[in-house]
Amino acid sequence: MTQRLHLVFGGELVTPEKNIFKDVSKIHIVGMFPDYASAFSAWKAEAQRTVDNAHMRYFIAHIHRLRDEAQSGSATEELGA
């Protein structure tokens, strides 16, 4: 069975018009979630918590879309094996 992992993260943006973080060392990693529903719930909680700061933004990254298990590994992955 394929896992559908989702990463929720966010932080302060340089400007609300662009998705560029002001300081990447201060990105808040909310967590990794096994399904979209739980990731959305965590995202919504953080977004509501920071609603008064227009420069704060939270995102859901679909980690499962970054890796296709059916494809062979890259040269970098094979170095770790």
Domain count, the chain: 1
Beta bridge partners of 21: 13
Does residue 78 lie within any of the structural domains?
no
Residue 29 CB contacts under 8 Å (≥ 6 apart), including other chains: 7, 8, 9
Band (74; pLDDT cuts 50, 70, 90) = low
Query: Residue 37: which domain range?
Result: 6-70
CATH at residue 22: 3.30.70.2400
Strand intervals (E) in the chain: 6-12, 28-33, 56-62
Residue type, 81: A
Q: What is the pLDDT of residues 2-54, one digit of tens each?
A: 678 999 999 999 999 999 999 999 999 999 999 999 999 999 999 999 999 99
Instruction: Give a yes or no: residue 76 inside a domain.
Output: no
Q: What are phi and psi of 9, to 5 degrees?
A: -150, 165
Q: How many other CB atoms are there within 10 angstroms of residue 58's CB atom?
A: 19
